Chain A
Amino acid sequence: MSTERSSKAVVDGIAHAGPSRRSGKDVEELALEAISLALVDAQLDPGDVQAVVTESALCPVVTPLDRIGPAARLTGLRRSAQSTPVGAGILAAIGTAVDMVERGEVDTVLTWFAIGWGSATAGPTEYHSKMTAKHLIEDPVGFSGPPLYFAVAAKRYQHVYGLTDAEMEDMLFAITSAARANAALNPEAQVKQPLDRANYANNPMIAEPLRQADCSLLSDGAAALVISRKGRIKRSRPNVGLKAWAYAVDSISDADFYTQSPWLPCLPAAERASAQAFAKAGLSPSDIDVLEIYDCFSIAVAMQLEAAGFCPKGGAIHAVANGALLHKGTMPTNTHGGLVAHGYLLGISHAIEAVTQLRGAAGERQVLDARLAYVGAGPGRQYTSLIFERIDP
């Protein structure tokens, strides 16, 4: 079911402030820096922004629009919306922004995400521990913190697909070392040292089979994207449009997912969102030139590659082998370094990297002739899949 739809909206501005482990700056300041730079990239004035769409759980708390709006001089707002929590929500905000422009409701939409978890390192664990069941039942038995959720998923993955401990280590090392090698070519990455097998074997274990290197970094930073009507100004650089996107959610609460999900190590929401996005785009995973996958933990990349159809279920160990995920590999993935090496901005950097790659502006880590990019984030009860396309000038 190929579609002839061409993008009427383009991602016209992208920018980062950071990431870094400790910025010494207020989170609002980081958000304002990123917003300002993204508007410069889009050649727009703050007053041109007609709508804001953001993630819904963290963004409104740390960078509320009632303060960011006036501080960024967003004087022309006519619409404001929030999507859904965290990674899936950051990507869904981009999709919703594109929809608003393509429906002709507004000409220019701004989205951003900013976080200070590099300075306030208890952030991720506290985000989860606020849920009553986790606080009352999971914390007393030491089942605390996101690494454990994916550690038990990895053990279950091994059991279901019959991987030995050594095979699991091979797979996780392939995923993590590729992200680190990609990050080594990215001047913006927080961690630029490549990871060899001996270093990996000596890397501190956090929760088996996940080592520190398999876990997302902690970061201060912000990023922003500006979506506007295509053809607003003439560009010499390629434009980047959103070919298709989809969001899916399972009927299970956030507190339940990592212990009560009937489906682990499968991610049904990721399977549906990806299938819907590919169907809408009239594309299949083999058409994709570059992948940016929410890598909160290395095992999560394996689970999502399978859910999105980039390899068969249980087949990630073969799909990621032989440097496949390197920027010059057969399936370039997390070319900026991802959450484990670039920085933990919860997925917005993955979207920005996809746009950077499709613009051909990724420098040493550029994937040759990248025309289609897949971005996916969520990996839990909910998921968002984006498929970006390069539009030649």
Chain B
Amino acid sequence: MVGWERAIEAGELRVPRCDACGRWNWYPLPRCRSCGADAQRWTAVAPKGILYSWTRVHRAFARESVADLPYVTGIVDITGAPGVRLVCLQQAGENSPRIGDLVRLFLEQKPGGGRWLFEATAPP
């Protein structure tokens, strides 16, 4: 996952894309799911999408605290990379978003890595 770490450093959303057939492969695997080619490139894609699902978390299970409870975390269908979904933390706190909302993604740089936040804009 060096490609993921480099993308965070570069401030971009990048996803492995097959050189041979053009399919996006997420999460990463050593071969393309569609054609089996091994040549894949971490390719930049616009940080926006549509909210696939979400939940409001009242009790955290991660070892390190990531946000004040309760927080909303969700899964976003990335518009420019069909078949790719990214998990993101809602930027605006605990308000209820709606499945199907258009969302913009923002990269939050943190020591030792980064993470993507989402903000719902409007239904498509």
Residues of A that sit less than 8 Å from B by CB = 122, 125, 132-133, 136-145, 147-148, 151-153, 155-156, 159, 204-208, 251, 253, 255-256, 259-260, 262, 264
* Sample (16) of A-B pairs whose CB atoms are under 8 Å apart: A136-B1, A136-B113, A141-B66, A141-B87, A142-B57, A142-B73, A147-B61, A148-B73, A151-B57, A159-B99, A205-B58, A206-B58, A207-B57, A208-B55, A259-B87, A260-B27
> Which residues in B have their C-beta under 8 angstroms from that of A253?
27, 29
Q: Is the CB of B87 within 8 A of A153?
A: no
Q: 4 tightest A-B contacts by CB?
A: A145-B61, A151-B55, A144-B62, A133-B27
Number of residues from B at the complex interface, CB < 8 A: 43
Report the bound CA distance from A148 to B66 in whole Å: 15
- Asked if B18 lies at the interface with its beta carbon under 8 angstroms from chain A, I say no
Q: Is the CB of B83 within 8 A of A262?
A: yes
Report the bound CA distance from A4 to B1 in whole Å: 53
Q: Is the CB of B57 within 8 A of A259?
A: no
> Which residues in B have their C-beta under 8 angstroms from that of A259?
75, 85, 87
- Chain B, range 54-95, C-beta contacts under 8 Å to A: 54-64, 66-67, 70-71, 73-75, 83-89
Q: Is the CB of B110 within 8 A of A140?
A: yes
- Asked if B53 lies at the interface with its beta carbon under 8 angstroms from chain A, I say yes
- Chain A, Cβ-Cβ closest to B100: A159
> Which residues in B have their C-beta under 8 angstroms from that of A156?
52-53, 99
Least distance between B12 CB and chain A CB atoms (Å): 15
Contact partner of A256 (CB less than 8 A), chosen from B27, B99, B113, is: B27
Contact partner of A148 (CB less than 8 A), chosen from B55, B84, B85, B86, is: B55
> Which residues in A have their C-beta under 8 angstroms from that of B88?
141
Interface residues as binary, B42-54 with A (CB distance below 8 Å gives 1, 0 otherwise): 0000000000111
Interface residues as binary, B1-34 with A (CB distance below 8 Å gives 1, 0 otherwise): 1001100000000000000000000111100010
> Which residues in B have their C-beta under 8 angstroms from that of A208?
55-58
